[in-house]
Each structure stands twice: as structure tokens, then as C-alpha cells.
Amino acid sequence: MDTSKPLNPWVIVEATPDDISKLTTRHIHALFTCWRTIGWCLRDWDEPDYGEQMYMKATAILKAELARRPHVPNKKESKALRQAAAKAKR
């Protein structure tokens, strides 16, 4: 997968595990956000079962990859870590 240009969220469904493991955590989070939005839109299709299957498959793939990676702290956690490191230096 070429990560230099915007990612098409539909490629996740056909991607191999090796392709997904090459993505950065930031890209995976972005794709996960896209798929949450797509999930709402897929419910309005003529075939909602197909849309639901695609959504569930994509989110399962992304969740599995994120589970293998180390935790990325959010803003609040990052701030607490920085403050603790600064306090330890004193």
C-alpha cells in the first residue's frame, strides 16, 4: 500500500495482513475513523447485510492490528507522562 497519498478505506477489506502491518498507527487510526463514518452510511444501502459484513470485517482487521501494537498515549496521558518526566529530572 502506498501511504504517501490519502488512503482509500475500501482497500482494507482486500488488504493482506502484511500490507496492514506496514501502515503507521496514525494511518490505522484514520482508517478506523473513516470506517466508523462509512458504517453509518452503509446502513442505508439496499443490502444492509452486505454493508454490515464489510463494516465488521474492516473494523475487526483494524482492531486486530492495533491490538498488536504498543499503546499510543492520548493528549491527557502524554501530558501526564511529560510532567512526570520533568518532575523526575528535578
Q: What is the pLDDT of residues 19-72, one digit of tens each?
A: 888 888 888 888 888 887 777 676 666 666 777 788 888 888 889 999 999 988
pLDDT at 5: 59
pTM, full prediction: 0.67
Q: Any idea which residue has 482492531 for its cell?
A: 63
For residue range 60-81, list pLDDT tens digits in order: 888 999 999 998 888 999 999 9
Burial of 2 (0-12, 13-18, 19+ CB in 10 A): exposed
Nearest to 61 by CA among 27, 24, 28: 28
Buried b (16+ CB within 10 A) or exposed e, 49-82: eebeebbeebbebbeebeeeeeeeeeeeeeeeee
